């Protein structure tokens, strides 16, 4: 996917440990998904041998950068922080936990205590200006291995 330099692209990882069915998980996430309108979403049961329990969600959300009210523009860093602050509050996370990168174009927000805070089980937000934080170069990932060993 290609994004504009005026887009803040966020990966939001959620984990609902206390739900017992996929229906319960989807009902719990429905307000978040309908409010954020992600460009992609993946939902799955946590693997039984993994670190997490319950159900997992990975949302790719594109947010427009807010403009600075005084100047109409603002620095990329200040606009990034304003957008992340609003998203963190919506997720039930503490905006003060956001760690911006050196360039001020992206960063990470990790929940301090994954057991409380977010009603959606949000525990990680990766943010990057103009690109997917997990694939900043864009395009499809190409793997050299043929995958024959998986057959």
pLDDT digits (tens, 9 = 90+) for 77-122: 788 888 899 999 999 999 999 999 988 889 999 987 755 557 899 9
Q: Is the pLDDT of residue 139 over 50?
A: yes
Report the chain's mean pLDDT, rounded to a whole number. Answer: 84
Distance of CA 123 to the CA centre of its chain: 9
Q: At 10, phi and psi to the nearest 5?
A: -125, 135
CA distance 63 to 136: 16
Tens-place pLDDT, residues 55-76: 999 999 999 877 655 444 557 7
Q: Name residues whose C-beta falls within 8 Å of residue 44's C-beta, 6 or more positions apart in sequence.
A: 55, 56
Q: Is the pLDDT of residue 54 over 90?
A: yes
What was the pLDDT predicted at 136? Answer: 79
């Amino acid at each position: 996917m290609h994004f504009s330099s005026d887009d803040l692209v966020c990966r939001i990882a959620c984990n609902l440990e206390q739900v017992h069915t996929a229906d319960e998980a989807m009902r719990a996430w429905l307000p978040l998904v309908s409010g954020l309108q992600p460009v992609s979403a993946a939902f799955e049961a946590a693997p039984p041998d993994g670190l997490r329990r319950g159900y997992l969600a990975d949302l790719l959300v594109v947010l427009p950068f807010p403009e600075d009210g005084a100047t109409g523009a603002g620095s990329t860093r200040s606009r990034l922080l304003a957008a992340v602050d609003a998203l963190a509050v919506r997720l039930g996370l503490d905006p003060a936990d956001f760690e911006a990168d050196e360039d001020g174009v992206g960063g990470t927000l990790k929940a301090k205590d994954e057991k409380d805070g977010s009603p959606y089980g949000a525990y990680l937000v990766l943010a990057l200006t103009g690109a997917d934080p997990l694939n900043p170069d864009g395009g499809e990932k190409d793997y050299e291995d043929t995958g024959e060993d998986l057959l």
